[in-house]
């Protein structure tokens, strides 16, 4: 019976992987377009009937003069040379400015909201249009967005932004982690590389260095809560900054990389007291349900590669208000491939509520469903996620810090040797010890093994 359910789960995951959902506005997720809409040539119509290739949507954001223009060009060439179809989506506000919009418009009452609506409408239209083209193309593709929908919140206070989203009928979760696979924040040169700060190459910007630093911080905070947010600062030269970006993107799309982006984990003594968080540290709270599907042991099957195991899990992630109300929910499936050389490759994909519910019925019933509370925040440009377990065990707290380290700078990092990677621990976290990448800590503190606890 287990073999039958294992095979059923495997083919369910296979179907999921072949039917990638559209990552356009979540509110339209379950709507079916009329068949005659968007029809073009016979070849395109035939291509759309084929299993959809994997498409990744990536945001490049940051303060003024952070290197986005150069980074977009570098990433585009790099990915195309490795077989990906690539589209870059220009910054919507810059398009308005370069085509007639002026500061005088803001003299009209209520104009900021009209501008935000226009920018968001334009951004969504551009992103969704190129996504339809890539799907029709039927090949693996990457959409590189010069800023994303959450960037608008950097120009409004939280009450204005919440009101703006309510009027549009969407939530921050839907237009943040529900829409983009990764967010890379390139810190402005005005912070850490001041002598290179200039606005000569962008007619839409006019900020002083001090204003650029403030805007950079606001933009970072706008994306707190995305599960794959990486901040690239100016602690290296610009080439080093670009190399980290290329490497992080490579890992996202499954290409080899020599600069490892990884999580360093810390065991906490107890649940953090949010009242002790500094006022400048913005955090987001999530309730997470993590469900493991039946895994596939490659060793028992014919296999011409060095892949030895493959397993998947689905995740429901609900953004919570401070009053414990659900603000929005997103869904994701992750497939983990384990190779006999010790390397693990994760493939993450945004899915719909319908796909999540269908996959839930193929869960591995020998495992518990994992329930967690998560707290996401940035501290000194490092992204932290605190996992507080609720089921099958209570009050286990693990802090995950996302870091990037070069093999050249840090020695040979194979995903296991993390002890030499430096992490600036927030003083408001009560850390008991750093978790090591040994079998003992893995079996005691990983979700994969915690899910096997007796029910």
Domains and CATH numbers, the chain: 53-257 (3.40.50.300)
- Any idea which of 28-42, 330-344, 416-430 has the lowest mean pLDDT? 28-42
Residues 96, 115: Cα–Cα separation, whole Å = 10
Mind listing the pLDDT tens digit for each residue in 196-229? 887 666 555 667 888 889 999 999 999 999 999 9
Partners of 345 in beta bridges: 337
Partners of 363 in beta bridges: 293
The 10 Å Cβ neighbour count of residue 46 is 11
Residue 453 pLDDT exceeds 80:
no
Give pTM, 2 decimals: 0.75
Phi, psi of 37 (to 5 degrees): -80, 140
Sheet holding 229-232, edge to edge: 85-89, 141-146, 55-61, 182-186, 229-232
Q: Return the percentage of the chain with pLDDT > 90, whole number.
A: 49
Q: Report the chain's mean pLDDT, rounded to a whole number.
A: 81
Q: Return the percentage of the chain with pLDDT > 70, whole number.
A: 78
Residue 325 pLDDT exceeds 50:
yes
Tally the residues of the chain.
455
Q: What is the pLDDT of residue 322?
A: 87
Is the backbone of residue 235 left (phi > 0), alpha (psi -120 to 50) or beta? alpha
Place 4 in a pLDDT band, splitting at 50, 70 and 90: very low
- Any idea which of 125-134, 186-195, 297-306 has the lowest mean pLDDT? 297-306
Taking the CA of residue 118 as centre, how many other CA atoms within 13 Å lie in the half-sphere pointing to its CB? 13
Mind listing the pLDDT tens digit for each residue in 121-144? 999 999 999 999 999 998 899 999
Residue 419 pLDDT exceeds 60:
no
Q: What is the pLDDT of residue 307?
A: 78
- Residue 371: CB partners within 8 Å, gap ≥ 6? 287, 288, 289, 290, 389, 390, 391
**Numbers of helices and strands, H then E, in the chain:** 13, 15
390 vs 419 pLDDT, higher one: 390
Q: What is the pLDDT of residue 398?
A: 96
The torsion angle over the Cα atoms of residues 351, 21, 123 and 63, rounded to 10 degrees, is: 40
Q: Collapsing DSSP states into helix, strand and coil, what is residue 321?
A: coil
Q: What is the pLDDT of residue 292?
A: 95
Phi, psi of 247 (to 5 degrees): -65, -45
What's 37's DSSP letter? T
């Amino acid at each position: 019976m287990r073999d039958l359910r294992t095979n059923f789960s495997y083919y369910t995951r296979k179907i999921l992987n072949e039917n990638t959902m559209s990552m356009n506005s979540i509110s339209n997720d379950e709507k079916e377009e009329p068949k005659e809409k968007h029809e073009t040539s016979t070849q395109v119509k035939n291509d759309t009937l084929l299993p959809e290739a994997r498409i990744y949507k990536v945001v490049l954001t940051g303060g003024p003069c952070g290197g986005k223009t150069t980074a977009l060009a570098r990433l585009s060439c790099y990915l195309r040379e490795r077989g990906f179809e690539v589209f870059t989506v220009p910054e919507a506000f810059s398009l308005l400015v370069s085509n007639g919009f002026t500061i005088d418009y803001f003299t009209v009452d209520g104009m900021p909201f009209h501008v935000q609506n226009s920018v968001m409408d334009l951004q969504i239209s551009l992103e969704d249009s190129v996504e339809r083209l890539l799907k029709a193309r039927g090949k693996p593709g990457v959409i590189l967005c010069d800023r994303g929908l959450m960037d608008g919140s950097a120009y409004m206070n939280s009450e204005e932004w919440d009101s703006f989203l309510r009027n549009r009928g969407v939530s921050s979760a839907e237009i943040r982690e529900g829409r983009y696979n990764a967010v890379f924040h390139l810190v402005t040169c005005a912070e850490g590389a001041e002598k290179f700060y200039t606005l000569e190459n962008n007619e839409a910007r006019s900020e002083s260095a001090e204003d650029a630093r403030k805007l950079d911080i606001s933009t970072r905070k706008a994306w707190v809560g995305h599960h794959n947010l990486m901040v690239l600062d100016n602690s290296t030269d610009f080439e080093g900054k670009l190399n980290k970006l290329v490497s992080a993107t490579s890992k996202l799309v499954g290409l080899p990389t020599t600069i490892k982006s990884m999580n360093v984990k810390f065991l906490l003594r107890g649940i953090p007291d949010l009242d002790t968080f500094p006022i400048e540290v913005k955090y987001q709270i999530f309730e997470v349900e993590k469900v493991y599907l039946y895994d596939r042991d490659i060793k028992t099957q014919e296999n011409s590669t060095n892949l030895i195991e493959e397993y998947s899990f689905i995740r429901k992630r609900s953004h919570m208000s401070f009053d414990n109300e659900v603000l929005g929910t997103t869904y994701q499936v992750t497939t983990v491939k384990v190779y006999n050389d010790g390397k693990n490759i994760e493939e993450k994909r945004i899915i719909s509520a319908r796909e999540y519910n269908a996959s839930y019925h193929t869960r591995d019933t020998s495992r518990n469903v994992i329930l967690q509370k998560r707290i996401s925040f940035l501290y000194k440009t490092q992204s932290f996620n605190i996992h507080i377990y609720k089921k099958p065990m209570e009050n286990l707290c693990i802090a995950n810090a996302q870091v990037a380290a070069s093999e050249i700078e840090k020695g040979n990092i194979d995903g296991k040797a993390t002890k030499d990677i430096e992490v600036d621990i927030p003083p408001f976290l009560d850390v008991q010890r750093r978790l090591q990448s040994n079998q003992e800590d893995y079996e005691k503190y990983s979700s994969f093994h915690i899910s096997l606890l007796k029910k």
